Amino acid sequence: MNSAIMAFLHHLAAFTLVGVLIYEHTAFRKDLTLAEARRLQRMDALYGISAAILLIVGLLRVFYFEKGASFYAQNWFFWTKMIGFALAGLLSVYPTIRFVSWNKSFAKDQAPEISDQDFSRIKMILRLELLGIVIIILSAAMMARGVGMMT
């Protein structure tokens, strides 16, 4: 039962993260209204929260609720998944910093001004994060079936 609950929490966090990332990619544009910018900032916070829950629950599953760390450590798809997660997390730092910087505009009750360069950079990063998610999902499916075992 505990294993099923942990799997549920892991999947709930993962689907939340993916949904939020798709929302960010779709909603982000140069001419955001104040309300849209605030919503995007809140969604980015939800992205971070869901990523943290995903990581914590995932590690708990590896060490306590599933096949054990030694099983996963021997699978290169597990490591591909972990590297993909780390890279997506690192990529998300720049958009988050930019979204938080909008607080200055929010304090003046104004929508943020987004330069062409910032818009292009953030949009590309969001696309790369989505690509990372695809790699993570593929790796998870392979790993769950024992593909990629090193021994």
Residue 22 to residue 31: CA distance in whole angstroms: 19
Q: What is the pLDDT of residue 151?
A: 66
pLDDT given at position 69 = 87
Q: What share of the chain is helix, strand, coil (3-state, %, to 5)?
A: 80, 0, 20
| Closest to 50 (Cα-Cα) out of 105, 90, 9 | 9
Q: Considering Cα of 135, then 60, then 145, then 74, what sign does the dihedral take?
A: positive
Q: Would you give per-residue pLDDT tens digits along the chain (151 residues)?
A: 888 999 999 999 999 999 999 999 999 999 999 999 999 999 999 999 999 999 999 999 999 988 888 888 899 999 999 999 999 999 999 999 999 999 999 999 999 999 999 999 999 999 999 999 999 999 999 988 888 787 6
- Other C-beta atoms closer than 10 Å to the C-beta of 135 total 16
Residue 43: phi and psi, rounded to 5, are -65, -35
- DSSP letters spanning 18-58: HHHHHHHHHH--TT--HHHHHHHHHHHHHHHHHHHHHHHHH
For residues 85 and 46, give the distance between their C-alpha atoms in angstroms, rounded to a whole number.
16
- Predicted pLDDT at 144: 83
